């Protein structure tokens, strides 16, 4: 795995380098704020989660292994987990209005092309092998933090149908990614 | 190479996608802690989906570092030795990444003799242009759990790290230096000061003077 700035900074943070920690915040903070805000949809909560996130990054940086992925991916996974945990602690989505509002934001962004590289192209191609509504459901889960229940409401299918959609989509995605 | 998609795969993928409720998420986390094979499946799915991360747009974040640092580091780092010896001010952020090379002698403009303060370690330093070379002239390596770290003290400012010293000395480029500034070497935990400020005893120090 080629070294990247964030990866190098994480390695320094693992050695309790506080200057590197500050640099990491200035380099990666806005990207991670984007992850948290998209899933949490609440600025105040996202800022609170960003503090939690960097607190965890400091404490867990030793667990980061540059061989297993980019520094940003490692932190993004942590950010997503943190945001989704907070989301699941809230009341589930039930009414159609908020569902429609949530549907709006699943299209790829122009920024994607800038950072994309091989992995993004690969998963993009693999999503193309799924039926469009199922691809949207998987993307909605990953990018917007939608639960099975949210997805069932958004796509107007029974929750067990949504489970089947996702299971089949995951099988096909993995076949495609590992092909 | 596609293996069978079993219940564990589904559980790992559901966890990574985040579609389940809190109870199922906590069950997956507990499982990952005691079952490395399951934890590896989670990492596999994270890697599979990481290509989507580029679709998260950046959103300017306010500077929350003061709050984050207040959580993590409730007390200010101690610098009593430095204050006693050099009368320096409060802690400052130090972003000095020193690139050390093999020792190469040159005709110096400024020199410093870093006289031993403890442990009998001393250094000779020389500045040629903006290139600083420093050589250990007495004393032994730090023990296996410590390193020697070089600092520059500009007037009344807090010491700024120039990096951990290679065993016998080394060479680096200095950007801001002048006669009267002090070079000092401290004993720090392996890898250098954890705080960005000196934390250990001074082992050698001396001012830069005209050669």
Mean pLDDT of A76-95: 83
How close A98 comes to chain B (CA, Å)? Answer: 17
A31 contacts B56? CB cut-off 8 A: yes
What's the rounded Cα separation, in Å, for the pair B47 and A103? Answer: 25
Domain boundary among A88, A104, A134: A88
Same-domain pairing of A66 and A12: yes
Identify the residue among B61, B98, B158 best suited for mutation to test binding to A, counting A beta carbons within 10 A and taking the highest.
B61
B117-131 residues labelled b (16+ CB within 10 A) or e (exposed): beeebbbbbbbbeeb
Tell me how many domains chain A contains: 2
Q: What is the pLDDT of residues A91-139, one digit of tens each?
A: 655 544 444 444 434 344 433 333 444 556 688 899 999 999 999 999 9
Which chain A residues contact residue B68 at CB under 8 A? 25, 51, 54-55, 58
How close B152 comes to chain A (CA, Å)? Answer: 17
Same-domain pairing of A106 and A171: yes
A90 compared with A52, residue with greater pLDDT:
A52
Same-domain pairing of B82 and B13: no
Which chain B residues contact residue A11 at CB under 8 A? none
Same-domain pairing of B83 and B165: yes
State percent of chain A over pLDDT 90. 72
Closest CA to B45 of A178, A133, A24: A178
SS3 A40: helix
Same-domain pairing of A167 and A150: yes
Residue A121: predicted pLDDT: 64
Same-domain pairing of A105 and A143: yes
Whether the predicted pLDDT of A176 surpasses 70: yes
Domain boundary among A34, A63, A88: A88
Residue B2: predicted pLDDT: 47
Same-domain pairing of A20 and A72: yes
Which chain B residues contact residue A17 at CB under 8 A? 191-192, 194, 196
| pTM recorded for the entire structure | 0.60
Same-domain pairing of A84 and A28: yes
The CA-atom distances, in angstroms, between A160 and each of A137, A153, A156, A172, B151 are 14, 12, 12, 18, 64
CB neighbour list of residue B195: distance below 8 Å, 6 or more residues apart: A16, A18, B77, B91
Residue B201: predicted pLDDT: 84
A145 contacts B10? CB cut-off 8 A: no
Query: Which residues of A69-114 form beta strands (DSSP E)?
Result: none
Same-domain pairing of A12 and A82: yes
∠ CA A77-A80-A82 to the nearest 5 degrees?
A: 110
Does residue B71 belong to any structural domain of this protein? no
Residue A15: predicted pLDDT: 94
Does residue B63 belong to any structural domain of this protein? no
A98-127 residues labelled b (16+ CB within 10 A) or e (exposed): ebeebeeebebeeebeebbeebbebbbebb
B62 contacts A76? CB cut-off 8 A: no
A68 contacts B47? CB cut-off 8 A: yes
CB of A66 within 8 Å of a chain B CB? The answer is no
The CA-atom distances, in angstroms, between A72 and each of A27, A91, A103, A115 are 10, 30, 26, 11
How close B63 comes to chain A (CA, Å)? Answer: 8
Which chain A residues contact residue B188 at CB under 8 A? none
Phi, psi angles (nearest 5°) of residue B111? -130, 160
Does residue B68 belong to any structural domain of this protein? no
Phi, psi angles (nearest 5°) of residue A58? -60, -45
CATH of the domain at A154: 1.10.10.10
Same-domain pairing of B113 and B206: yes
A147 contacts B19? CB cut-off 8 A: yes
Same-domain pairing of B49 and B127: no
Nearest by CB to residue A33, choosing from B25, B61, B68, is: B61
Same-domain pairing of A128 and A163: yes
Tell me how many domains chain B contains: 2
- Report residue A151's pLDDT band, with 50, 70 and 90 as the boundaries: very high
Match 């600025």 to its residue by tokens.
A43
CATH of the domain at A50: 1.10.1740.10
Nearest by CB to residue B48, choosing from A34, A146, A174, is: A174
What tokens does A51 get? 């503090």
- Tell me the residue range of the domain where A134 lies: 96-178
Q: Looking at this predicted complex, what is its ipTM?
A: 0.84
CB of A33 within 8 Å of a chain B CB? The answer is yes
Mean pLDDT of A6-33: 96
What's the rounded Cα separation, in Å, for the pair A69 and A67? Answer: 6
Mean pLDDT of A36-64: 94
- Tell me the residue range of the domain where B29 lies: 7-55
Same-domain pairing of A25 and A84: yes
Same-domain pairing of A82 and A105: no
Residue B81: predicted pLDDT: 34
Give a three-class secondary structure readout of B92-144.
CCCCCCCCCECCCCCCCCEEEEEEECCCCCEEEEEEECCEEEEEEEECCCCCC
Same-domain pairing of B87 and B156: yes
Residue B23: predicted pLDDT: 92
Nearest by CB to residue A34, choosing from B10, B16, B59, is: B59
What parts of chain B have a pLDDT lower than 70?
1-3, 75-107, 118
B51 contacts A123? CB cut-off 8 A: yes
Nearest by CB to residue B68, choosing from A37, A55, A167, is: A55
Same-domain pairing of A56 and A23: yes
**What residues 94-153 of chain B have any CB closer than 8 A to a CB of chain A?**
94-96
Does residue B64 belong to any structural domain of this protein? no
Phi, psi angles (nearest 5°) of residue B179? -60, 140
For chain A, how many helices (H) and strands (E)? 10, 0
What's the rounded Cα separation, in Å, for the pair A26 and A15? Answer: 19
Same-domain pairing of B86 and B164: yes
B54 contacts A111? CB cut-off 8 A: yes
Helix (H) or strand (E) holding B173: strand B169-173
B54 contacts A116? CB cut-off 8 A: yes
Domain boundary among A36, A61, A88: A88
Q: Which residues pair with B170 in a beta bridge?
A: B134
Q: How many CB atoms lie within 10 A of CB B102?
A: 10
């Amino acid at each position: 795995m080629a070294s990247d700035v964030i990866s190098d900074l994480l390695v320094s943070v693992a050695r309790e380098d506080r200057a590197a920690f500050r640099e990491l915040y200035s380099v990666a903070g806005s990207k991670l704020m984007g992850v948290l805000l998209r899933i949490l949809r609440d600025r105040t909560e996202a800022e609170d989660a960003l503090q939690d996130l960097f607190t965890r990054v400091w404490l867990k940086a030793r667990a980061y292994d540059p061989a297993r992925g980019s520094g940003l991916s490692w932190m993004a996974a942590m950010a997503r987990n943190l945001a989704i945990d907070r989301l699941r602690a809230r009341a589930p989505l039930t009414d159609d209005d908020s569902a429609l509002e949530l549907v709006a934001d699943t299209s790829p962004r122009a920024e994607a092309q800038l950072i994309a590289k091989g992995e993004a192209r690969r998963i993009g191609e693999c999503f193309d092998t799924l039926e469009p509504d199922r691809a949207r459901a998987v993307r909605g889960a990953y990018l917007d933090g939608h639960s099975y229940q949210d997805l069932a409401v958004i796509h107007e299918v029974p929750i067990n149908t949504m489970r089947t959609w996702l299971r089949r989509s995951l099988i096909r995605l993995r076949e495609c990614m590992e092909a | 190479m596609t293996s069978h998609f079993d219940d564990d795969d589904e559980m790992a993928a559901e966890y990574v996608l985040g579609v389940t409720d809190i109870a199922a998420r906590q069950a997956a986390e507990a499982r990952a802690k005691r079952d490395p094979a399951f934890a590896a499946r989670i990492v596999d799915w994270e890697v599979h989906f990481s290509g989507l991360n580029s679709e998260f747009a950046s959103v300017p974040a306010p500077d929350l570092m003061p709050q984050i640092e207040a959580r993590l580091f409730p007390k200010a780092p101690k610098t009593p030795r430095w204050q006693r010896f050099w009368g320096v001010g409060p802690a400052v952020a130090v972003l000095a990444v020193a690139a050390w090379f093999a020792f190469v002698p040159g005709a110096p403009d400024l020199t410093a003799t870093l006289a031993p303060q403890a442990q009998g370690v001393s250094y000779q330093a020389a500045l040629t242009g903006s290139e600083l070379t420093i050589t250990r002239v007495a004393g032994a390596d730090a023990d296996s759990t410590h390193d020697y770290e070089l600092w520059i003290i500009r007037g009344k400012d807090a010491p700024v790290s120039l990096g951990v010293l290679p065993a016998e000395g080394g060479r680096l480029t200095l950007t801001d230096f002048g006669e009267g500034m002090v070079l000092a070497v401290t004993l720090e935990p392996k890898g250098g000061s954890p705080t960005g400020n000196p934390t250990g005893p001074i082992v050698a120090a001396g001012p830069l003077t005209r050669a």
